[in-house]
Structure 1
Amino acid sequence: MKAMALQQYGGPEQLALVELPEPKVAPGEVLVRVKAAGVNPVDWKIAEGLLDGLMEAHFPMIPGWDVAGVVERVGLDAGEFSVGDEVYGYVRKDEVQHGAYAQLVSANVRMLARKPAALSWEEAAGVPLAGLTAYQSLKRVGVRGGDTVLVHAAAGGVGSLCTQIAVALGARVIGTAGPRNHDFLRSLGAEPVAYGEGLADRVRELAPEGVDAALDFVGEGAVEVSRELLTSPERLASIVDADALAKGGHYVWVRPDSADLAALAAFADEGRLAVHVERVLPLDQAAEAWNLSRSGRTRGKLVLSVDGMEDAN
């Protein structure tokens, strides 16, 4: 099979299109023929060795944890799916080697759910990591109908999905973003505010009594600003700043969860969750996708199209 892989730790220049053996399918797993793979900052952070203290990595390394595709083979005791099923998932394994930037990827059934029918392959591939991060963060702080929720970096990949999910749960969302993204946030159902100095005052103009919950998807002092505004300090979650734990909140590291993926698919099929795909690039342009991701200026998601690689190469 064709895959984008690295032979050693490094930046985008280490990525190369190579031919590798098909992955083995262990008990409890299925083999997925990849249609599209989502790109996330963690992909290039792993490639640069920044998570070496957390996760074992083996080379050649195929990056990528977000996948949308079709079940091609069913392993032993993996009866949740059948050949031909359209699935999507967050394929984060215990060790990093066989990722989603490939024509084929094996995945445990707990990492997958049926693909949302309302989404294209590319849109579905943009959901798993970001969508699960958003959903699990919202659950961690107990967001419910009637809450006022502050979402930092609300126009980004995670933030834009979090905003929509919170709105679907019946919450009022105040979202931080640069001015160019304010109309985008309004289209998602949020009330936008500009980030930067004076943020707490701007939020108080919209919510004089403070906010019920806050989600930090950017860092850069968001935890401290959130603590100023929260009526209950424990209803703070960050995916960036581990100090949130010491300050009474939560630090969230997303987990694969088929039930949560199914819930996200339901939101999408009900028309309550859309995915803004900033750009779709072919698999062999993964390095360019990483450069775009590293710029930090992407609205929504970057996705690699894998379908058709056999014809193109």
Structure 2
Amino acid sequence: MSRAVEYETFGGPDVLEVRDVPEPHAGAGQVRIRVTVAGLNPMDWRIAAQPETAARFGLTPPAGFGYDFAGTVDEVGAGVAGFAIGDRVFGGALARAVADFVVLPVPTSLPDGLFRTPDGVSDEVAATIPIAGSTAVAALAATGVRSGDTVLVGGAAGGVGIFALQLAKLAGARVIGTASASTFDFLHRLGAEPVAYGDGLAERVRSGGVTAAIDLIGTEVAEAALALGVPAERIATIAAGPNPPGGVRATGGVNGGPDAVPRILDAIVAGELTVPIAASFPIEKIQDAVAYQATGHVHGKVVVTL
């Protein structure tokens, strides 16, 4: 037997259970990964809590939990080329990642994916990359961020925000990030200029010369950017639904493209991008991990160890 996090009904963190399940094995054309770390994303708990979100991914309870993972290949099925037992890997397995084992076909098919973990990159860091990294790349592409821009990033200290603000800096842009006052020092260390979120945001950044905006929370930053005269095509949202205000662009990790994860990985290996781990929980504390992430006040990424 092996362990996996599953849920029987939609709900909050309390519906998540660590269960003993039959141990899966790699068949022909598949590899099995012994998972060591799973990275959490807001998408994970929203799928488990919201029927309408789950339906977008073709999921209904009972279901597994989580997408991002890192670990080591420990079984290789017949006909597999390019992976061997002992290879360190990371990737995505929709609604299956928080488990002792993940089995994936090679090559993988969307939305799942599998990548090699290079030397010098820990499993904790690798497990944070697929969703957040791809989403950040998609948001920057949607807004056309380039050298000389001043980018307003809403939710800059969160799991996607830490990637987006650093990628924008690497592109030569100035970054203003919305946050609570307790987060200001954290954002300064990542190279962003913090500003308090909430009523009056547009006035607080009016003199900043904002030329593009990425809203990672809802619509507040998108609406402030529109009020400042930023063109709608230079504003992106990831959490405002398919029809965000004012014709701004809705995007997400699926729009990151095939080069998104390698781009993030290259920047990490080069020391150009860091991934702050806000907290690490053992799998037995999965409910606590999800509750902590769902507060919306996490500085960096949350991971679960197995």
Aligned residue for 1:265, secondary structure, equals helix
8 Å contact 2:32–2:104 — kept in the other structure? yes
8 Å contact 1:147–1:212 — kept in the other structure? yes
Task: Give the alignment of 1:211-290 within 5 angstroms.
Answer: 211-242=210-241, 245=244, 247-255=246-254, 258-290=258-290
**Alpha-carbon distance in 2 for matches of 1:181, 1:83:** 42
CA distance 1:244–1:237, change in 2 (3 Å): farther
TM-score, normalising length: structure 1: 0.87
**Alpha-carbon distance in 2 for matches of 1:229, 1:206:** 10
2:126 to 124, 127, 130: 124
| Amino acid of the structure 1 residue aligned with 2:231 | S
2:190 corresponds to: 188
2:41 corresponds to: 40
CA distance 1:178–1:32, change in 2 (3 Å): same
1:157 corresponds to: 159
- Asked if residue 64 in structure 1 is aligned to residue 66 in structure 2, the reply is yes
| Amino acid of the structure 2 residue aligned with 1:107 | L
**Alpha-carbon distance in 2 for matches of 1:290, 1:184:** 22
Task: Give the alignment of 1:134-213 within 5 angstroms.
Answer: 134-207=136-209, 211-213=210-212
- 1:60-100 Cα offsets, whole Å, 9 max, x none, are 422000111112233466534333221121333xxx4xx11
8 Å contact 2:6–2:64 — kept in the other structure? yes
**Alpha-carbon distance in 1 for matches of 2:151, 2:170:** 12
Deviation for aligned residue 1:130: 1.1
CA distance 1:104–1:222, change in 2 (3 Å): same
8 Å contact 1:275–1:300 — kept in the other structure? yes
**Alpha-carbon distance in 1 for matches of 2:154, 2:141:** 16
CA distance 1:296–1:268, change in 2 (3 Å): same
**Alpha-carbon distance in 2 for matches of 1:187, 1:126:** 19
- Where structure 2 has 5 or more consecutive residues not aligned to the other structure, the ranges are none
8 Å contact 1:281–1:289 — kept in the other structure? yes
**Alpha-carbon distance in 2 for matches of 1:259, 1:243:** 24
CA distance 1:142–1:42, change in 2 (3 Å): same
- 1:233-263 Cα offsets, whole Å, 9 max, x none, are 2011101113655633211131285532111
**Alpha-carbon distance in 1 for matches of 2:40, 2:182:** 23
Greater alpha carbon shift after TM alignment, 272-281 vs 77-86: 77-86
Aligned residue for 1:130, secondary structure, equals helix
**Alpha-carbon distance in 1 for matches of 2:258, 2:67:** 14
| Amino acid of the structure 2 residue aligned with 1:183 | D
| Amino acid of the structure 1 residue aligned with 2:271 | G
Deviation for aligned residue 1:7: 2.7
**Alpha-carbon distance in 2 for matches of 1:44, 1:305:** 17
Deviation for aligned residue 1:118: 3.5
**Alpha-carbon distance in 1 for matches of 2:181, 2:245:** 32
Deviation for aligned residue 1:112: 2.0
**Alpha-carbon distance in 2 for matches of 1:63, 1:268:** 27
Deviation for aligned residue 1:287: 0.6
CA distance 1:107–1:251, change in 2 (3 Å): farther
Deviation for aligned residue 1:151: 0.6
**Alpha-carbon distance in 2 for matches of 1:246, 1:200:** 16
**Alpha-carbon distance in 2 for matches of 1:33, 1:229:** 49
CA distance 1:5–1:242, change in 2 (3 Å): closer
CA distance 1:258–1:231, change in 2 (3 Å): closer
Deviation for aligned residue 1:25: 4.5
| Amino acid of the structure 2 residue aligned with 1:11 | G
TM-score, normalising length: structure 2: 0.88
2:81 corresponds to: 79
**Alpha-carbon distance in 2 for matches of 1:257, 1:21:** 34
Question: What is the root-mean-square deviation of aligned Cα atoms in Å?
Answer: 2.3
Aligned residue for 1:88, secondary structure, equals strand
Aligned residue for 2:155, secondary structure, equals coil
8 Å contact 1:112–1:257 — kept in the other structure? no
| Amino acid of the structure 2 residue aligned with 1:100 | A
Aligned residue for 1:53, secondary structure, equals helix
- Where structure 1 has 5 or more consecutive residues not aligned to the other structure, the ranges are 307-313
